[in-house]
Amino acid sequence: MVKVKNPEEIQNLIIKGSYEKKRIFSIVAHIDHGKTTASDYLMRRAGLMREEDAGQLQMTDSDEEEQERGITIFTSVVLLAFNDPRKPKDEEPYIFQINDTPGHISFTGEVSRALRGSDGAIILVDALEGIMTQTETNIRLAVGEELSKPVLFINKVDRLIAELKLKPADVFQKIDAITKEINDLIKKIRPEGFDWGVDFAKNSVAIGSAKHGWGFTYEILLEKGLKPQNVFEKYAEGDIQWLRDTLPLDESLLRMVVDHLPDPISAAKYRIPHIWSGDLNSELGQALQKSDPNGPLYGMITKIFLDPKKNYQATLIGRVFSGTFDQTDSIYLIGSRNTNRVKRLGVMEITDILDVPKVPAGNLFAMFGFICPSGETFMNAEDLPKNKEEQKKIPSFETIQYACEPVVSRSIKSKDPHDIDKLTEVVSKWLQADPTAEYRMDKESGEFILSGIDPLQIEILTKRINNQVEIVIGEPIIVYREKITKKSKDYHTKSANTHNRILLFMEPLDEQTEKLIESGRIHDLQDEKERATILRDELGWDAKEARRIVDVYQGSLLVNGTSGLQRFDKVKSYLVASFRDWLGQCILAKEPAAGMKITFTDMTIHEDTRHTGYGQIAGMVWSAMSLAMLDAGPHLYEPIQKIDIKTPEGTEGSVSGIINKRRGRISNVIPEGEYVRVQGQIPAAETIGIADEIRGATQGRAFFGYEFSGFERVPGSLEEKLILEIRKRKGMPEELPSGKSWDRFIYKRT
């Protein structure tokens, strides 16, 4: 239980506090760069921990798994009140609403969701390791995707001074190089017309050591009459306590946040047009852009916290963007299209809810009472239009963008066959909390196939699931994609009872449309007019064809190319289900398909519903799509990781050799002082065990990171062997698929 020093003050600041005194931000960094340690000092300043515990307790790593592994897995949210010591006469405190996010690539989804609710970000960089892969990803997510304004904290400067024994000039040069590289990244992706950047001379860069509890900005040095060289002198004297007392880390972080990160009203003006798809001139649009507490209630659920200490009950965390959320409200979930009653409302203090009777716009909130997927948009149920068609047109917030795709799988099944329903419920709950993972059921084996970003994410998820229902877990498996390379001929197939027929062809979906689907701008729940407008105006689609899209799923489209088709509504749901099932387990090796545009140009549907059940429709649809795929140049595509290694000078040859040996490609070898940065790409299948090999080649001195880069076609020399290996593992016939499996469904005119 977190003991909040000043609960009444926090509640009052949430409900009545001045908007210019509110700051909502995330602390983001590469793994082990020191986010959670730095957060300790803000906790100490707010009175949530003792002086001697700051930098040691890592209070926001509250989960046992986090403490055991020494890494942050779940975003922790905490609200803290501070006074600005530069304004002693100003009695109203600032309220900081902080997300301490994970740095490991496995949990980058937590970062994306935290940033959606944030107006700013503290980018934290290890002075020794410098900018790593996840640093770049976080900057892209914060600045490019979510328009969260950045400031920079360069941490672990003590390592440069005490460990590497660098001269002051060399330390300053390294800090300048990091700042320049951060600015180069920000400038590449910042919104057009924005001058965002970080500058030590303007106090938007802080330098220090979270481990030793000191830090400074340029302004603080001037006030204290100090120079950076004084830090070196104190390390030489061994007087770290002087640094902690004279240059307390929390002071530099506080000042950067107050002076450079925006309040909710300032941020709403430019963030809402970017993250909300509705009419900006409407009453709701105007209220959102002003973060108006008196406007219509509108918000977003950004995180689901499943507390292992409370039987994994769900706490929903999010942000109110317009109106005031009252504890008596019932809310309507726009994506799920259902209404739910709130049982408890408040704000999150790491693992506990601090009750607040109402939460106005411009604040984070926490509530208890039900569960829904992360990323849901909600409104007051009383404002819901009565007309069903109007309900479908209610705009939601844009889909949260994730940096990775699920490319690693493990099979899971309940030890007790009677627990299969319970397992379904438990898995569903965890995947609502973390939409970067996916699962499906293998109907033949009765197993669930759980897919995630990498083995660590799957390991954490399966441990959580096993705590609730005992499971048998398979070995990690790489998830491939099945794609086509050319347009197929038309294929005409019939149902098993011969009463229904379909004529269709398939072709590769163009890259731009596929990207729109991946980004969430084109999706299945969208109003067809809105979807058609985007495809027509941005990609030049034919307007009529764009409005005849039947389904959007897994980076693929199903299009109705018929004219005057009768009785289609009778079988539409079966057609869509068949399309999705087929994409989920495609024909080469039952791997997911992607990037396909399937168009049916004719369809005969029997008038008697007894002859048009799912089995009949699915048979003819699966056979037509399978035959078309065989004709469309099908190939297996493998996930590729971008790899980034900082290795001691002289070991870069060994590291490059490891990457090349594992089918990787080196793109850059960049000298960085005593280190060399080796960058490249490598198939995800080849990353298993690579960390141990790199550590062995560098005596454990290399820093290592990777990021999902996309899918590439499996080399021709390996493809057939790999397909047969996957088919064998899945219990399929050990031969490449051929049309003979579906010949009996081909319709031949007589």
Q: 202 and 65, same structural domain?
A: yes
Q: Would the pLDDT of 457 be above 80?
A: no
What local confidence, expressed as pLDDT, does residue 194 receive?
Answer: 94
> Is residue 249 situated within a structural domain?
yes
Q: Would the pLDDT of 322 be above 90?
A: yes
Over residues 482-511, the mean pLDDT reads 95
Q: Kindly report the number of other CB atoms within 10 A of residue 117's CB atom.
A: 29
Over residues 428-455, the mean pLDDT reads 76
Q: 605 and 529, same structural domain?
A: yes
> Is residue 247 situated within a structural domain?
yes
> Is residue 724 situated within a structural domain?
no
Whether the CB-CB separation of 328 and 343 falls below 8 Å is answered with no
Q: 320 and 279, same structural domain?
A: yes
What local confidence, expressed as pLDDT, does residue 260 receive?
Answer: 97
Q: Quick one: 15 exposed, middle or buried, by C-beta within 10 A (0-12, 13-18, 19+)?
A: middle
What the block records as the tokens of 40 is 């300790």
Q: Would the pLDDT of 613 be above 60?
A: yes
Residue where one domain finishes, among candidates 262, 295, 319 = 262
Over residues 120-129, the mean pLDDT reads 92
The CATH number for 667's domain is 3.30.70.240
Residue where one domain finishes, among candidates 625, 659, 685 = 625
What local confidence, expressed as pLDDT, does residue 66 receive?
Answer: 36
Q: 230 and 286, same structural domain?
A: no
Q: What is the 3-state secondary structure (H, E, C) of 524-556?
A: CCCCHHHHHHHHHHHHCCCHHHHCCEEEEECCE
436, 482, 540, 622 from 585: Cα distances, Å: 19, 9, 31, 11
Distance separating alpha carbons of residues 15 and 491, to the nearest angstrom: 63
Q: 497 and 582, same structural domain?
A: yes
What local confidence, expressed as pLDDT, does residue 561 receive?
Answer: 94
Q: 363 and 295, same structural domain?
A: yes
Q: Considering the chain, what is the average pLDDT of its residues?
A: 87
Q: 177 and 46, same structural domain?
A: yes
The CATH number for 571's domain is 3.30.230.10
Q: 691 and 649, same structural domain?
A: yes
What local confidence, expressed as pLDDT, does residue 195 receive?
Answer: 94
Over residues 13-25, the mean pLDDT reads 93
The CATH number for 228's domain is 3.40.50.300
Whether the CB-CB separation of 677 and 646 falls below 8 Å is answered with yes
Q: 350 vs 343, which has greater pLDDT?
A: 343
Q: 133 and 15, same structural domain?
A: yes
> Is residue 193 situated within a structural domain?
yes
> Is residue 734 situated within a structural domain?
no
Q: Would the pLDDT of 727 be above 90?
A: yes
Q: 78 and 205, same structural domain?
A: yes
What local confidence, expressed as pLDDT, does residue 436 receive?
Answer: 75
The CATH number for 445's domain is 3.30.70.870
The CATH number for 275's domain is 2.40.30.10
Q: 491 and 453, same structural domain?
A: no
> Is residue 599 situated within a structural domain?
yes
Q: Can you list the positions of beta strands (E) in 335-478?
A: 338-341, 344-349, 352-355, 358-360, 363-368, 377-380, 408-414, 438-442, 447-452, 471-473, 477-478
Q: Would the pLDDT of 724 be above 70?
A: yes
> Is residue 746 situated within a structural domain?
no
Number of domains in the chain: 5
Q: 368 and 285, same structural domain?
A: yes
DSSP letter (8 states) at residue 592: P
Q: Would the pLDDT of 691 be above 90?
A: no
Residue where one domain finishes, among candidates 432, 449, 479 = 479
Over residues 468-478, the mean pLDDT reads 86
* pLDDT band per the 50, 70, 90 thresholds, residue 460: confident
Q: What is the pTM of this model?
A: 0.76
How far is Cα of residue 512 from the mean position of the Cα atoms in its chain? 21
What local confidence, expressed as pLDDT, does residue 39 receive?
Answer: 75
Domain extent for 465:
408-479
> Is residue 487 situated within a structural domain?
yes
